[in-house]
Each structure stands twice: as C-alpha cells, then as structure tokens.
Amino acid sequence: MEHVPVQRFCEFMTPSTIELQFLDELKSDQREYRRKEVITREGEKVANVFLLRSGWVTSSFAVDSGKRNQLVKLHFPGDVLGLPSIALTKTAETLIAATPTKVDVIPIERLASMFERAPRLAFTLFLSTQQERLMLMDHLAAVSHTSAQQRVAALLMYVHRRLKLFGECSDVLDLPMSQQQIADAAGLTSVHVNRTLGELKRADLICTEGKVIRLLDIDRLEELAAFPDRASVRNPWWLTSIGQQPFMGD
C-alpha cells in the first residue's frame, strides 16, 4: 500500500500488508493545510494524533508567559504528530504546517486499539518515541557543550538524514524555516545563526540562496556535527516473535 506513509515504521521492521491495511483504516479523516496554517494549538483538548502524509510540520510551545513560541521539532512525512500530548488532558504543543501539508487524523481511541489488534505496529511506534527521546538527549548535550558551527551542522545533517530515510534526499535543502526558527532549533540567537552560516560558507561547507542551502561537503559536515554513533535496532528478536497478522475483528 504505497499510499500509506510508513517510513518511520519501516525503520525497525517491515510491516505486513495486513498491518499496513490496519494502519490505513485507523484514520477517521484526511485533512490538508496551507503553509503556516495551524493543525492543532497548544492547550486544546486532546482528541487526535496525526499521521503526516506529505509536507513539513513544526512543533512549538509558548515561552516567556506566552509572548513568543519556541520551536522544538521538525516533523517529516511518516511521523505521527501529537503523541506527547496523549499523556495529558490538553495539548502540549502547537503544530503548524511549514509547507502545504496533508495528514491522516487518527482518534486516540483508535490509536489505543493498535496495542491490542496490531501489537508489532504499536511496539514500532514505541521504538520511534524512544528514538525521539535519544535525539532530544543528544540535542540537549549539543546545546550545552558544542560550538555554534557544530549545532548548525548537526541541524542540517539531521534534516539530511531524515529526508534520506524516505528517499527524497539530495545535497540541496529547501528549508521552510525562518532564521529565528533555525536559531530555536539550534539553541542559538538569530544573529548568531546568520554569522555561523557565513562561517560555514567561507569554509566551503555550504552555499545558500534564500532559504535553500546546498551541502557542499557532507562528509565534513557529518564530522563537524559529531553525531553520537547510534545504530537503530532492526528486526529485534522480541519484536519479530510477535505475530505479523493483526487481529482485524471488532
């Protein structure tokens, strides 16, 4: 079922055809959003999660008594949006379409049924959340102990790797982000980001044209980013031991 965006699920195991059918049937609706349109706003009642089919989405929350929003994450096709909020009564984040975006709406009660009726998919989703936790840990460590060049390089390599996951990767990144959002994501000020991009250009690591960034030397950028060497588990024995055919009855 090529129309189901399953990149994140496929990181850890290969879903069966029936599992993909189950995933597709979880949705109650499909919605499209224009660039900068709000998908869900911080403080709303928790009712749904969203499977991102196409486009980029930003996640942010209010800081400084609501005077500004802090970008905390970029979402790409295949991501399940809104998962952190299912532990709460009100949404913890604001999700905004950074590009024209299409999502599948999954009511949380249907998401809950995945744990009973398609346990391999549920465990894979759990693994994705643990991966996100590790990424957050790495990001916090980077903000505390790395240079501005390393932080910006790490952000560029993170986007590059995520795009590579679903086959849309090249050495050209068309970032639908303002300089302030890049600064938020890298833990820097907007002025510092502008200076750092200039340093990377002078080092012949990137070139820029508007919001388009061309990666001139990916190997050197990877080295500069200094990512921890983390290899994701693939087909773990405790996951493959679970039946591949989900229970499809009511």
pLDDT digits (tens, 9 = 90+) for 68-104: 778 888 898 889 999 999 999 999 999 999 999 999 9
Give residue 1's pLDDT band: very low, low, confident or very high (50, 70, 90).
Answer: very low
Q: Note whether 109 and 65 are within 8 A (CB).
A: no
pLDDT (0 to 100) of residue 67: 67
Query: Which amino acid does the sequence have at 135?
Result: M
- Separation between Cα atoms, residue 171 and residue 169, nearest integer Å: 7
Q: Which residues of 4-28 are buried (b: 16+ CB within 10 A; e: fewer)?
A: bbbbbbebbbebbeebbebbeebbe
- Separation between Cα atoms, residue 73 and residue 59, nearest integer Å: 5
Identify the structural domains of the chain with CATH numbers, from first to last: 7-135 (2.60.120.10), 147-225 (1.10.10.10)
Q: Which tens digits make up the pLDDT trace of 189-237?
A: 889 999 999 999 999 999 998 889 999 999 999 899 887 777 778 888 7
Q: Which tens digits make up the pLDDT trace of 118-164?
A: 888 888 888 888 888 887 787 777 777 789 999 999 889 888 887 87
